[in-house]
């Protein structure tokens, strides 16, 4: 029987290397929108989505096939979740079992562990029966499960475990023989029998008055009392130890026989299944996220790996999940020889940040191996995703906001390579436009030389006018181009469409300010009304 470790989400050649910086996880709120902790108790350490990022193309393909399989066979997901809860219980019992001192408790936990293990194997086998999977992950997993189910060893294990489980579970009470001295003090005790019925409280006076001594043999002469009543801790421990030791001795023959039949099914042998619990947490969390998009009739695609990158009908998945039913604007973007860096400008609340985040979500989901939020995506893997959202920065350098911005940008720039993606949203907005434009142009000029790709979202309109100058650098590896959040031709309303080209120059800053009463007439009128 095949016992080697099996992974559903990692390719065999994946070294598990990941990004050197994962700040983008928090900036893009990935741990919030993709809940992979549904099956993790609140008392235990939470999983972090960054632990599942990959830089391996084969792992990405493996997961894509897996998620495609689950979306096509979504009817198995509820039962798969139930089995994941049972798998969690299996892991918990194994952990507790390793900590107990009593051999009796250890054996009883082992019986429970094997019972759950058997239920899981049978449960998976029944679930996957007649399901035509196409992904390597689910084909290998279902084949492993089926191989175990059909083995003579597993059949024998089921039979032996059921026998012992029934015997142990049927023990409801024990009959104890107690020897007394002349002062009626107990001197010796021993177990007479293991019983399949529980003792019940009785009253000797009532029995004498009714002359009824032929009642249930499990009816006591006096009311039952808690065994620990009136005992100190050492006496409680002594009784527990004595009873457990005697029970263990009486059951030892059964345990010995049972152990021989399951030697090949100990925790070491079944470790491959234990290791899949966190993988199922990740898989089911991501699948729920993808299903939420799928159920809104939004496109999901597998990546087509290409040096010339082109993404069509990209949308922001977080916006979808936080929005009531309605039309979702989709946009296109290319990272190719015509442009690898974009300067994105446009009106306030025109969709710039939403679009920038959408690009970040797509590349994050790419490196998680998920289907992508777009109609099509010719893309290539990156070695880092660098985000710089100054509105979320804290003054961790104790140098003021502008100095903090510069320090963070400096750290990012030192790690930037030709395979990196950067997403900067309103960077350098903490100083004057003249200074911001000058510094931003220096940063973008350096990035063009490095050959990385990214989006610089800004209100610095003067920076947009510098594209020709930046592109004239003979050492530049790629080119920079403008993107703009456009307005409706007729009404100047926001369209949330992002297109190539210079901005119209109109900003909605005044519109937004007016909504809060920050125009001249509104301020003066509010003062007049206050006096009245």
Domains along the chain?
Answer: 1-18+54-174+230-295 (no CATH), 300-525 (3.40.50.300)
**CA dihedral sign of residues 190, 195, 199, 203:** negative
**H or E segment and range at residue 486:** strand 480-487
**H or E segment and range at residue 310:** strand 309-314
Comparing C-alpha atoms, which of 453, 471, 459, 472 is closest to residue 342? 453
First to last CA, the chain: 89
Give the C-alpha distances (Å, rounded to integers) separating 186 from 52, 189, 221: 62, 8, 18
Q: Helix axis angle, 277-294 relative to 57-72, nearest 10°?
A: 60
Q: For each successive 10 residues of the chain (532 residues), what is the average pLDDT?
A: 80 93 93 93 89 97 98 97 95 79 70 87 95 96 94 84 71 79 78 77 63 66 72 69 66 57 59 91 97 94 96 93 78 94 84 93 98 97 93 56 85 93 88 87 93 93 90 92 77 72 57 56 68 63
β-strand pairing of 173-180 with 186-195: antiparallel
Q: How wide is the angle at C-alpha 239 spanned by C-alphas 235 and 240, nearest 5°?
A: 115
Q: Measured between alpha carbons, how far is 406 from 181 in angstroms, rounded to an integer?
A: 88
β-strand pairing of 304-305 with 376-379: parallel
Contact 61, 422 (CB under 8 A): no
Comparing C-alpha atoms, which of 48, 39, 34, 113 is closest to residue 83? 39
Q: How wide is the angle at C-alpha 189 spanned by C-alphas 258 and 246, nearest 5°?
A: 15
Residue 186 bridge partners (DSSP) = 180
Residue 457 bridge partners (DSSP) = 344, 425
**pLDDT confidence of residue 531:** 63
Residue 6, Cβ density class (10 Å: 0-12 exposed, 13-18 middle, ≥19 buried): middle
- Retrieve residue 486's tokens: 């456009």
Q: Measured between alpha carbons, how far is 525 from 217 in angstroms, rounded to an integer?
A: 93
**pLDDT confidence of residue 326:** 67
Contact 317, 293 (CB under 8 A): yes
- Retrieve residue 393's tokens: 């920065």
Q: Return the number of other C-beta atoms located less than 10 Å from residue 88's C-beta.
A: 18
Output the CA torsion 414→418→420→425 (10° steps). Answer: 70
Q: How many residues make up the chain in this entry?
A: 532
- Retrieve residue 471's tokens: 């592109």
Residue with tokens 């992979």: 36
Question: What DSSP string runs through 323-338?
Answer: S-SS----EEEEEBTT
Q: Measured between alpha carbons, how far is 493 from 386 in angstroms, rounded to an integer?
A: 32
Global pTM reads 0.81
State whether residue 286 is helix, strand or coil: helix
**pLDDT confidence of residue 328:** 85
| Residue 61, C-beta contacts closer than 8 angstroms, at least 6 positions apart | 11, 369
Residue 175 bridge partners (DSSP) = 193
Residue with tokens 């939020």: 373
Residue 422 bridge partners (DSSP) = 386, 454
Contact 223, 202 (CB under 8 A): yes
Q: Residue 492 region, left (φ>0) first, then alpha (ψ -120 to 50), else beta?
A: left
């Amino acid at each position: 029987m095949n016992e080697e470790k099996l992974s559903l989400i990692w390719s065999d050649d994946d070294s598990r290397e990941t990004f050197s910086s994962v700040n983008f996880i928090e900036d893009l709120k990935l741990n919030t929108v993709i809940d992979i902790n549904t099956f993790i108790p609140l008392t235990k350490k939470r999983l972090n989505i960054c632990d599942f990022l990959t830089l391996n193309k084969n792992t990405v393909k493996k997961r894509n096939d897996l998620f495609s399989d689950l979306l096509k066979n979504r009817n198995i997901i509820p039962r798969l979740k139930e089995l994941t809860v049972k798998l969690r219980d299996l892991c918990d019992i194994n952990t507790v079992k390793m900590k107990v001192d009593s051999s009796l408790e250890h054996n009883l936990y082992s019986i429970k562990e094997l019972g759950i293990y058997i239920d899981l194997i049978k449960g998976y086998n029944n679930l996957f029966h007649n399901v035509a999977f196409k992904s390597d992950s689910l084909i290998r997993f279902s084949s492993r499960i089926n191989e175990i189910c059909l083995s003579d060893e597993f059949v024998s294990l089921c039979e032996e475990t059921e026998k012992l489980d029934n015997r142990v579970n049927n023990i409801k009470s024990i009959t104890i023989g107690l020897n007394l001295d002349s002062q009626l003090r107990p001197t010796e005790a021993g177990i007479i029998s293991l019983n399949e019925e529980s003792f019940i409280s009785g009253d000797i006076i009532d029995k004498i008055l009714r002359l009824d001594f032929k009642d249930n043999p499990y009816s006591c002469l006096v009311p039952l009392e808690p065994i620990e009543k009136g005992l100190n801790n050492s006496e409680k421990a002594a009784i527990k130890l004595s009873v457990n030791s005697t029970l263990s001795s009486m059951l030892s023959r059964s345990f010995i026989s049972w152990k021989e039949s399951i030697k090949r099914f100990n925790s070491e042998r079944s470790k491959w299944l234990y290791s899949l619990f966190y993988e199922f947490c990740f898989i089911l969390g991501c699948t729920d996220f993808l299903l939420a998009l799928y159920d809104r009739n939004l496109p999901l695609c597998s990546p087509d790996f290409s040096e010339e990158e082109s993404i069509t009908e990209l949308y922001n998945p977080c916006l979808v999940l936080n929005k009531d039913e309605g039309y979702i604007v989709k946009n296109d973007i290319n990272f190719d020889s015509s442009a690898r860096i974009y300067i994105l400008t446009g009106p306030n609340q025109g969709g710039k940040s939403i679009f920038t985040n959408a690009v970040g979500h797509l590349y994050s989901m790419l490196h998680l191996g998920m289907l992508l939020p777009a109609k099509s995506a010719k893309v290539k893997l990156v070695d880092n995703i660098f985000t710089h959202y100054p509105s979320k920065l804290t003054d961790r350098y104790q140098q003021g906001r502008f100095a903090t911005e510069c320090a963070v940008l400096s750290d990012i720039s030192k790690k930037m390579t030709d395979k990196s993606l950067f997403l900067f949203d309103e960077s350098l907005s903490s100083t004057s436009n003249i200074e911001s434009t000058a510094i931003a142009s220096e940063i973008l000029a350096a990035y063009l030389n490095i050959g990385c790709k990214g989006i610089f979202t800004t209100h610095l309109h003067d920076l947009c006018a510098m594209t020709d100058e930046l592109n004239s650098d003979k050492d530049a590896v790629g080119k920079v181009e403008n993107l703009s959040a456009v307005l409706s031709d007729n009404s100047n309303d926001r369209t949330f469409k992002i297109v190539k080209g210079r901005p119209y120059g109109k900003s909605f800053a005044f519109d937004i300010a007016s909504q809060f009463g920050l125009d001249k007439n509104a301020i003066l009128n509010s003062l007049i009304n206050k006096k009245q």
